[in-house]
């Protein structure tokens, strides 16, 4: 057999030639964390630290337990590559590139402006959306390079999803020190925020000036965290984009711990796994493949009551908030559905209780085009518009911090309106991820919204010289900042419909308070009566004592 005795020399030559065509990666100086040294890389003008563990792997006996601290390491851990994302089905956003998945997924990523080690910069922690079913901290859309260049440190973190992140079960409750279960994904978010509090100073960040920001279920999570005593002191500001948990969720048993446990029992029985031990023996892939609707539960530990009750009584954490939604969110829910004048009511009843559609749903559209618009508008208001308005209104009335409210109206080149999630490419200033016919106007909006978001993170006020003035949202001045083809302050759009939803939810809460059933003819008649006299039962909120 012929053997090349000069292979080592040829290998070295090949490496030398390759080096002429491959740019070397600029390594960042190692940074000390509580678990050990980490070393990132320089990319796009900022330093990036990828795949830093903020908790121990939630596998084996740690599955369905509160996150535990990461194991320390010796030497310098490379932080040049993203970690696997948490186990999930599908992707969010839907056109995100595929990423490796693993149950061992509790890692975060940090974007740092050069030279920040000697400063105390504001910190922005992103909580991704995806319906608590999918999404990741490392999808290219969420790269923090453009925001970081504005003088902030950006952190993105994974958290457990689906049944792995939100399954409650009596066995799991029994083994918990706090006698709770479910909410593991939210506890992961808290663990990431606690890690930031303890470690971000080593990267040049100010642990006392942290802003959480998120979209969709990430924003819903933020509404929960702002209401949770466990998050007190972990962030000074919150940005919520199209997601909140302010509906009367106590009408649904599965939002309470006991009801969530029964959902978990049924889930285990369908898998022939009646106990926590049997559930932990199942492959993670089998658990993720099974049907499960993840949601937070009121467990008396992370959540003591509904977020609406917390905010309405001024018991939320003392933070500044900036919240809002997009004009045409409901377009997201049109996929695969034929909406016409004849089918409008039935299609809406697939998504919402019949009594809601009957009382406040759109009435007799003129034609199919009008029906389609009515569907989009109603879905937008019910799912997002009212939640964000209720969040702003109750927070402003509580006196617990400044409040700013927005409405995003820009239609990107690939959409027919300002649909759910389209603002994210502007927020992160990553328009070029999609090769579309972006205009100078799109880039101006991205620059403006990036300025608003980072200014808010720095000072609690989005305003700066050169940008249209954004007035504070107050009980006496309910003003929205319209961000679109025109940028400027205006009265809250569609407020009449939002008030109608508010009256209906107030009626439901009155019935729940006095123990009346929501279902049945009697319940519907009571709700209708209370809704029609809603002006008498919806009182202005009193400013809370601080």
- The C-alpha atoms of residue 484 and residue 492 are separated, in whole angstroms, by 15
**Neighbour order of strands in the sheet with 36-39:** 31-33, 36-39, 76-78
| The token pair that represents 121 in the structure block | 């910069």
Helix spans in 304-438 (H): 307-312, 344-351, 354-360, 368-380, 386-398, 424-427
- The C-alpha atoms of residue 388 and residue 376 are separated, in whole angstroms, by 17
- The C-alpha atoms of residue 158 and residue 83 are separated, in whole angstroms, by 9
DSSP assigned state of 34: T
Q: Which of 169, 420, 430, 541 is catalytic?
A: 420
Number of other residues whose CB lies within 10 A of the CB of residue 4: 8
Q: Give the distance from CA 60 to its chain's centroid.
A: 27
Is beta strand 46-53 parallel, antiparallel or unpaired with respect to 41-43?
antiparallel
Q: Which of 96, 136, 138, 216 is catalytic?
A: 216
- The C-alpha atoms of residue 417 and residue 406 are separated, in whole angstroms, by 16
Provide the strand spans (E) within 359-491.
403-408, 479-483, 487-491
- Least Cα distance to 129 among 159, 155, 104, 95 occurs for 159
Q: Which of 103, 261, 329, 379 is catalytic?
A: 329
| The token pair that represents 46 in the structure block | 């900022």
Residue 465 is among the residues annotated as catalytic for this protein:
no
Residue 216 is among the residues annotated as catalytic for this protein:
yes
Spell out a b/e string for 427-446, using b for 16 or more CB atoms within 10 Å of the CB, else e.
bbbbbebeeeeeeeebeebb
- Least Cα distance to 404 among 443, 446, 328, 457 occurs for 457
- The C-alpha atoms of residue 282 and residue 280 are separated, in whole angstroms, by 5
- Least Cα distance to 97 among 111, 107, 79, 82 occurs for 82
DSSP, collapsed to helix, strand or coil, labels residue 212 as strand
The secondary structure of 336-356 as a DSSP string is: T----TTTHHHHHHHHS-HHH
Active-site amino acid positions: 216, 329, 420
């Amino acid at each position: 057999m012929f053997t090349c005795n000069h292979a080592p020399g040829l290998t070295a030559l090949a490496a030398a030639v390759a080096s002429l065509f491959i740019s070397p990666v600029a390594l960042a100086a190692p940074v000390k964390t509580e678990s050990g040294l980490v070393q990132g890389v320089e990319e796009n003008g900022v330093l990036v630290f990828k795949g830093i563990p903020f908790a121990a792997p939630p596998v084996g006996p740690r599955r369905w337990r509160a996150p535990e601290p990461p194991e320390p390491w010796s030497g310098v851990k490379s932080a040049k590559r993203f970690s696997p994302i948490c186990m999930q089905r599908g992707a969010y956003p839907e056109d995100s590139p595929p990423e490796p998945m693993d149950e061992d997924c509790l890692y975060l990523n940090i974007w740092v402006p050069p030279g920040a080690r000697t400063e105390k910069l504001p910190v922005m922690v992103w909580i991704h959306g995806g319906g608590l079913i999918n999404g990741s901290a490392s999808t290219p859309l969420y790269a923090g390079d453009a925001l970081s260049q504005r003088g902030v440190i950006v952190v993105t973190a994974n958290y457990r999803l689906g049944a792995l992140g939100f399954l409650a079960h009596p066995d799991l409750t029994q083994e918990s020190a706090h006698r709770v279960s479910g909410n593991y994904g939210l506890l992961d978010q808290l663990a990431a925020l606690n890690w930031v509090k303890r470690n971000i100073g080593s990267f040049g960040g100010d642990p006392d000036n942290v802003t959480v920001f998120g979209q969709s279920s990430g924003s819903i999570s933020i509404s929960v965290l702002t209401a949770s005593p466990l998050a007190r002191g972990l962030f000074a500001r919150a940005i919520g984009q199209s997601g909140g948990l302010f509906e009367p969720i106590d009408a649904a048993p599965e939002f309470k711990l006991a009801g969530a446990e029964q959902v978990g029992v049924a889930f285990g029985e369908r898998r022939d796994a009646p106990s926590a031990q049997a559930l932990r023996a199942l492959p993670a892939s089998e658990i993720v493949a099974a049907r499960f609707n993840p949601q937070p539960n009121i467990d008396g530990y992370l959540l003591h009551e509904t977020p609406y009750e917390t905010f309405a009584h001024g018991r939320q954490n003392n933070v500044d908030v900036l919240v809002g939604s997009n004009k045409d969110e409901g377009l997201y829910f049109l996929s695969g559905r034929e909406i016409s004048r004849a089918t409008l009511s039935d299609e809406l009843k697939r998504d919402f209780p019949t009594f809601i559609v009957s009382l406040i749903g759109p009435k007799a559209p003129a034609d199919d085009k009008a029906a389609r618009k009515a569907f989009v508008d109603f879905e937008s208001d019910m799912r997002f518009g009212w939640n964000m308005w209720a969040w702003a209104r109750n927070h402003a009335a509580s006196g617990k911090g400044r409040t700013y409210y927005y409405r995003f109206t820009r239609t990107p080149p690939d959409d027919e309106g300002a649909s759910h999630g389209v603002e994210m490419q502007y927020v992160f200033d990553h328009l070029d991820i999609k090769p579309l016919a972006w205009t100078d106007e799109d880039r101006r909006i991205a620059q403006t919204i990036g300025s608003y978001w980072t200014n808010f993170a720095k000072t609690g006020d989005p305003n700066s010289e050169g940008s249209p003035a954004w007035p504070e949202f107050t009980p006496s001045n309910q003003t929205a900042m319209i961000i679109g083809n025109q940028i400027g302050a205006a009265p809250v759009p569609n407020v009449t419909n939002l008030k109608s939803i508010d009256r209906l939810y107030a009626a439901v809460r009155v019935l729940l308070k006095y123990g009346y059933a929501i279902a049945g003819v009697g319940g519907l008649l009571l709700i209708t009566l209370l809704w029609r006299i809603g002006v008498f039962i919806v009182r202005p909120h009193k400013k809370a004592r601080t």
